[in-house]
Structure 1
Amino acid sequence: MVSHKPHILVTRRLPETIEARMATLFETHVNEDDVNLTGDDIIGGLEGKDVLVSSITDRIDARLIARLPRSVRLIAQFGNGVDNIDIEAAWAAGVTVTNTPSVLTEDTADMAMVLMLALPRRLVEGTQMLVRDGVWAGWSPTSMLGHRLRGKALGIVGMGRIGTAVAQRAKAFGLNIHYFSRNRRPPGVETPLEATYWHDLDAMVEAVDIVSLHTPHTRETFHILSADRLRRMKKGSFVVNVSRPELLDEAALVDAIESGHLAGAALDVFENRHGINPRLLALAEANKVVLTAHMASATLEARIEMGETVIVNIRAFMDGHQPPHRVLPDGAHGAARNLRS
C-alpha cells in the first residue's frame, strides 16, 4: 500500500482524455515531444518515479531494467504486445509488467479485413490511378480487373481473440476458413465458422489462397512464415500481416513477390529499424504490396480503452492488489516476487 500519489513517467503522448484522467490520479510526467526516448532518457526521467508507462516503441531490455531506479516497481505497457520488454529480466528483478489486451480485437480485425479486400480488388491502385493522373479514361470491361473473395480459402495463423474476429468477418464475405493454432478451438467456435483446423502449418499454407498472421511474437513464432513456407504457398496467393513484423521473413516475402510466385502482400507492420526496405517500397509503388502505417488499432475508441486499462493496472498495483493484466514469463506461476519493495 502506498500513501502518496504515485509518480509515473509516460513515454509517449496519449489521448487528451487519458492524460487528463492520469493527471487527476497520479503525478504524471509526459514526454511532451512525443518522440522515441533513448534508454538514457527513460532512466533519467524515471528518477523518483514509481511507474513506467511504456509503449511498443520503447526498448525495455535487460540492461535498461538493471538500471531502473529502485522506486520503479511497475512497467505498465500501453499496448497489447510486450515483445519490446524483456519479461524474464523484469520478473527476475521483481518488476511487475502489465499490458492492455482485448481492447484492440475488433479494430485490428477490421483492418485485417480491409487489407484482405484491398489486395485482390486493387483498391489502392485504383485510387492512385485517379489521384496521380487526374484524368480518368472511363469505365472499360477489362479495366482494373481484380479477384473475387467469395469462395477463396483463408488460412489464419493464430486463432485467438483477433484471429477469431477476423474469421467471423471473413466468413461473412464468403471465404472458407482454415486455421493453425497452438490449441484447437472448441466446437462452439469452429462450427459457426465452418472452420477447418490444421495441426500442420506447412500443409495449411499449401492449401489456402490468403495467409493472415494473428499470433504473438515469441521465440517460437519468429519467422513462422519462413522462406520455406512462403515457397510452399500457392502461386498467386497473398499474405496479410497486422500483427508483428517478426512473424514474417520479409526478405523472403519480397523475393517471392518479385519472382511472381506470390501475387502480393498487405502489411500494417514491417521492418523499419533502418528505414523501410527499398525493395518493399518498390513493390508498393508497383501496386504489388499495400503498406499501412501500423494503423490496425488506431481508433480513438481503442486508444482511450487502452489508456483506461493502463490506469486500472496502475491503481490496482499501487493499492497492493494483483493488476488484472499482468504479464508473466513462460513457466512463471503463483504470486509475484517483489524483490524491489
Structure 2
Amino acid sequence: MYSCLVTRPDLPQPLYETLRPHCALDVWQKPVIMPRDELVARIKGKHALLCTLSDRIDAHVLDAATDSLRVIATISAGFDHIDVNECRARGIKVGNTPDVLTDAVAELTIALLLATSRRLFEAEKALRNGEWMTGWNHLWMCGSSIKDSVLGFVGMGRIGMAVCQRLKSFGAKEYLYCGNSAKSSADALDAQFVSFDALLEKSDFVIISCLLNDKTRHMFDEKAFKRMKTSAILINTSRGAVVDQKALYNALNSGDIRGAGLDVMEVEPIPLDDPLLSLSNAGVSELHIKSNIEFN
C-alpha cells in the first residue's frame, strides 16, 4: 500500500477521507507548522507528500525521502516553497491548486485596498488612542478615492484578472498591468500593458498579484519605491518576498509612498516587534498577527 505524509491535521476532512482508501496516512497532529526535523525524519520511505506553503521542500528534504517519493501535492496556488527543478530531475511529480483561492484572494485584495486608501487602519488606531478630535474636521483621516484614479497590476493572472473585474465598477480612470507579455484576456477589461517602470510612475494604486520567482523577488526595492508617486498606495496579497520589507518600511516612514496594505510578509507570522507594525500607514492583515500570538 502506498504511504503519504500530510503536514497539517486541520485541512478539510473530505481530503483525508478521500486519501485513506488509497494510501496509509501519516498526519502531523499539531496545529502548528511541522518542524523541519520532523518533516525530514518522517518523509523517509513515503510515496507521497501533501504539504502547504509553510513547508519548504528542498534538496535536503528530498534526499531524506529516498527514491520512494513519487509525488508532492501542495494545498496552494503558489509553489515557490518547492524546489520544482530538483523534483523534475528526480522524476517527482508536483501538483498545486491554482483556482482554489482566486475569489477569496480577490475579495481580500479589494478589502485591503479600500481599508488602506480610506485610512480605516489609521482611523481605528487613532480612535482607540483617543486621538479623535472634538468637533468636526473636514480633512482629518481624509483618504484617497479609487474613482478617476490609475490602477496598476503587477501580474495579470487569475487573481489579477479577478481583482480588476471587481474594481471596474469603482470607476477608475485607467487600468495598467505589467508582466512577461501582454494578455488578450485583459483587453476585455480595457487594461493596458506597460513596462514595470511606467506602471510605477503612473499608478495611484499598485496591486501585486504575481508569482514569486528569481525575477520577482525583491522587485519592489528602494529604487522601485522612489519611482512611485508619493501619494501612491501599495497592496500586496501575493508573496511577501516580492517586496523588500526594509525598503518598504523606509519608503512609508519617509513619505516616498502614501501607504501599504499587506496580507503577506517576508517572515510569517510577522514578529510583533517588526518596525512595519509601528507605522500607522501600514495596514497588515490581522490573520498573520493573530497566528503569531497563538503559535509562537
Which residue matches 1:271? 266
2:177 alignment partner in structure 1? 179
Provide closer, same or farther for how the CA distance between residues 130 and 143 of structure 1 changes in structure 2, counting only shifts above 3 A: same
Q: RMSD value over aligned CA atoms?
A: 2.3
How many residues align? The count is 285
Equivalent position amino acid for 2:103 in 1: E
Displacement of 1:130 in angstroms is 4.5
2:65 is the alignment partner of 1:68: yes
Aligned residue number for residue 38 of structure 1: 35
Percent of aligned positions that are identical: 33
Q: What is the letter of the counterpart of residue 284 of structure 2?
A: L
Q: Distance in 1 between matches of 2:252 and 2:129?
A: 24
Amino acid at match of 2:283: V
In 1, Cα distance between equivalents of 2:260 and 2:27:
37
Distance 2:199 2:131 in 1: 43
Query: Aligned-pair distance for 1:138?
Result: 7.3
Query: Contact (CA 8 Å) 2:232, 2:258: kept in 1 or not?
Result: yes
Q: TM-score, normalised by structure 2?
A: 0.88
Unaligned segments of structure 2, at least 5 residues: 289-296
State whether structure 2 residue 286 is matched by structure 1 residue 290.
no
Partners of 1:69 and 1:230 in 2: CA distance: 45
Relative contact order, higher structure (CA 8 A, sep 6+): 1
Would you say the 8 A contact 1:130–1:136 is kept in 2?
no
Q: Structure 2 matches for 1:58-207, cutoff 5 A?
A: 58-130=55-127, 141-175=138-172, 176-186=174-184, 188-190=185-187, 192-198=188-194, 200-207=195-202
Question: What SS class does the counterpart of residue 20 from structure 2 fall into?
Answer: helix
- Greater shift, 17-26 or 109-118, is seen at 17-26
What stretches of structure 1 of length at least 5 have no aligned partner? 296-341
Query: What's the CA shift for 1:267?
Result: 0.7
Q: What does residue range 220-259 of structure 1 map to in structure 2 within 5 Å?
A: 220-259=215-254
The alpha-carbon deviation at position 19 of structure 1 amounts to 3.0
After superposition, the C-alpha distances for 1:150-186 in whole angstroms (9 at most, x for unaligned) are 1111110011111111111122111221111212011
The yes-or-no answer on 1:208 pairing with 2:206 is: no
Q: 1:115 to 1:135 in 2, by over 3 A?
A: closer
Cα distance in 2 for partners of 1:129, 1:260 equals: 19
Conservation of the 8 A alpha-carbon contact between 1:151 and 1:174: yes
Which residue, out of 9, 17, 24, partners 1:20? 17
Greater alpha carbon shift after TM alignment, 125-134 vs 66-75: 125-134
Label 1:207 to 1:135 Cα distance change in 2 as closer, same or farther (>3 A): closer
Structure 2 residue matching 1:75: 3-state secondary structure: strand
Tell me if structure 2 keeps the 8 A contact 1:270–1:276. no
* Distance in 1, Cα, partners of 2:65 & 2:44: 9
| In 1: Cα distance, 2:153 partner to 2:287 partner | 19
Q: Matches of 1:245 and 1:99 in 2, distance apart? A: 19
**2:285 is aligned with what amino acid?**
T
AA aligned opposite 2:245? E
Contact 1:54–1:77 at 8 Å: present in 2 too? yes
